[in-house]
Structure 1
Amino acid sequence: MSLLEQLKDAQKDAMRAKEKLRLGAIRMVLAEIKQREIDNQITLDDAAITSVLVKLVKQRRDSYTQYMDAGREDLAAIEASEIEVLESFLPKPLTEDEVSALIDSAIAEVGAAGMQDMGKVMGIIKGKAEGCADMGKVSALIKQKLNA
């Protein structure tokens, strides 16, 4: 079952269960997917839908931080629950050991010798780890390994 079908089924389930917050988060994802499909005149595959989910989770995390800093715990709680709903559709996160092994294999594949090869290594890893790992942390680990 494709990710889009999973989202649509989850939307129906949320409607039946009258889960307003979950339904709102799923509708937001489906609207963003539809907008991208219309804007680019393409049909998104699972990888593209995953990148939409990653983007929306990142936006929710930023909003959560801003609401907490402003003392708006009520709005922060809504963002946190939306993050939880969105993350349920993302692939299982990679462990640190798996990320490290992925970086090592990408460095070997490219034959990276230093920081000038950072973009090549990131390009390989981004395709494999999108939605499964925090790309900021992955980038820091790559820099660490290339400088060593």
Structure 2
Amino acid sequence: MTLREQITHDLKDAMRARDEVRLSTLRLIQAAIKDRDIAARAEDRCEGCGHEEILALLQKLVKQREESAGVYETAGRLDLAERERREAEIVRAYLPEPMDGKAIAEAARTVVDELGAEGLKDMGKCMGALKERYAGRMDFSRAGKEIRALLQNAS
């Protein structure tokens, strides 16, 4: 079962269970995927967005929910912060197991070695390779710091 099919299946289950938070979150995910499909078709990719794009989209949704929860918490709206965190957990369930710091550092080192990167000018090339290989599994802000450190030491 593809990720799209799983989300649709879970949406139907949430409807049957009358789980409002899960239902609204899954509808939000589907709407975001449909928007991305429309954008892909505008770029002459008739099949819509691919699996990696969906994973990146889900990561973005989780990040947005976490940031919103922090803002709500600061404003004293703990009820809204809790809902945002619950939505983030629902979205996170569709992402593969995230990589830990050690695995990220190892992947960064491997990409730098494979590409023969020698300085900060190669940072974009390295990040592109990481995003291609580890979409949905890696914290790219942490990976960027690792690559930057490796490339600064290489110069």
User: For the superposition of Structure 1 and Structure 2, which TM-score range results when normalised by the shorter chain?
Assistant: over 0.9
What's the CA shift string for 1:6-54, capped at 9, x where partnerless?
Answer: 1011111111222111111011000111122224324222111111111
Per the TM alignment, residue 134 of structure 1 is displaced from its structure 2 partner at its CA by 1.4
Matched residue, 1:49 = 54
Cα offsets for 1:98-128 (capped at 9, x unmatched): 2112111100111011211111111101112
Aligned equivalent of 1:11: 11
Give the aligned partner of residue 65 of structure 2: 60
Aligned positions of 1:1-148 closer than 5 A: 1-41=1-41, 42=46, 43-148=48-153
- Counterpart of 1:132 in structure 2: which amino acid? R
What is the one-letter code of the residue matched to 1:89? Y
Q: Please tell me the residue identity of whatever aligns with 1:103.
A: A
Q: TM-score, normalised by structure 1?
A: 0.94
Mean Cα displacement is larger for which, 128-137 or 76-85?
A: 128-137
Contact 2:40–2:49 (CA<8 Å) still a contact in 1? no
Shift of 1:130: 2.1
Alignment TM-score, normalising by the size of structure 2: 0.90
Counterpart secondary structure, 2:56: helix
Which residue identity is paired with 1:128?
A: R
Question: Relative to structure 2, which stretch is displaced further, 42-51 or 69-78?
Answer: 42-51
For the residue of structure 1 that corresponds to 2:137, the secondary structure is coil
Q: Which runs of 4+ in 1 moved over 4 A?
A: none
Paired amino acid for 2:87: E
- Mapped contact 2:120–2:148 kept (Cα < 8 A): yes
- Inter-partner Cα distance in structure 2 for 1:147 and 1:5: 44
Which runs of 5 or more residues in structure 1 are unaligned? none
Q: Secondary structure at the match of 1:64?
A: helix
**What secondary structure sits across from 1:63 in the alignment?**
helix
Q: Tell me how far apart the structure 2 counterparts of residues 137 and 79 of structure 1 sit (CA, whole Å).
A: 23
Give distance in 2, aligned partners of 1:44 and 1:81. 26
